[in-house]
Structure 1
Amino acid sequence: MTRPHLRPHTGYDRSTEPLSRPTTDLLPEIFATLFADADKYREQGSRAEQELKRLAEPARDTEAKQADDQAAAAAVRDGNPAPARIHEAQLVTDREQAIRNMAAYPGIIADTTNAIHEARAELREHPDHGKETAKIKAKLKTDLEKAQATYQAFLESEARDAWIETATPMRPLRNLVNPADIVHDLERGYITDQTAGTTVLANLHTALTREN
């Protein structure tokens, strides 16, 4: 799971889209319904846009003209008056309807996303908001401070073994970030995309699994 941005968001608001929002198991039940509505109307809006583009293609005019020409030819060949050019007329009607449909979706989608933001605002005002995170953060800091001492002992022991085995100069062999870097990140107030702290666990895994 990628560490989310904690910096203020700027630009186009994607916070309610599936890849940018929390999963529903992390939120009150109401969000499942709100997310479902937002996703449904986005999908419908996308289909409406695709249909409008399809109807706007010049090929549709050619198809409608050919259909009306063929109907006229068949009628006259049978001794009947040429019928009204219903295919061309229907294409005009379909295009106008598609434009009206498309125009409705921005407002519908805005309403659904506003409902999500309003629910978020209620959560922000809840007296327990942030308490769980603060509790976990305090525990994480304590755990990492303990891990820092263990990690430093590991580096020193590894360096000692290397000196005994190969006369390698006595210094830590691995130039890696360490648990203290995560503590530093926690105290900064925000996490950027890539910091020493966000990569420490991967580096620790490398240190403990690399054979040489």
Structure 2
Amino acid sequence: MPVINRIKETLFTLATKTLLKIYLTPQKLQEFQGLRLLLLPGCFPPLRTVTTELLSIAFTAIPLSAGRAVDVGCGPGSLTLLLAGKGFYAVGTDVSVTCLKAARVNAIRNGVYSLTDFVACDAGSCLRSGSADVCVTNPPFLPYERKDDRDLPLAGGRELEVFKAMVRDCYRVAKKRGWALFAVSDLASGKPPHSLGVVLARGRGLGDNIYVVLLKPGAYRSSESAQP
């Protein structure tokens, strides 16, 4: 990577990390796409975060209205609940027990508890391959290592290993003819988004471009593979 691009990426990472950590700190209630959501400290908020908003827009491209859906790294359940609202049985996974507690509360508050389950596990490691009609993930894509729990929704790993594992697992869990979608920044993806699949939505973030990509076969192998 050219030096100027590396400096740009480092400055972008520091600025974004600082601003988002401030936004993640307090407990709050938010309304998003008709949902009323409890957000506990450290849980990724849907409101005014471009990735979540773009993924919710991309859901309109999914031609299914029922079936099984998975949200890898669900946080407070924003996207899981939207999928349940479309008629899916939706499973959300996350490594944060705090965010999973918020997700369960949010499912009850929004009347979709019977259509959802939330499981504590790393990425999608607890889920069977080819078990979902739709898999979505909004992975952390900032290239730095996690230092505390507030980094969970932000730190993609120095070599983006967390980001890659979540995307690989999402692709693995989706059925062969299913949908596997993820959000990514052009400054932190490691690959041009068009090389990974079909771009369903795009927008501007904090100095970067955000894309929602429908993965194409082979773009990422399963998390059992060591390399993307």
TM-score by length of 1: 0.22
Q: Which has the higher contact order (CA 8 A, sep 6+)?
A: 1
TM-score by length of 2: 0.21
Q: By percentage of residues, which structure has more helix?
A: 1
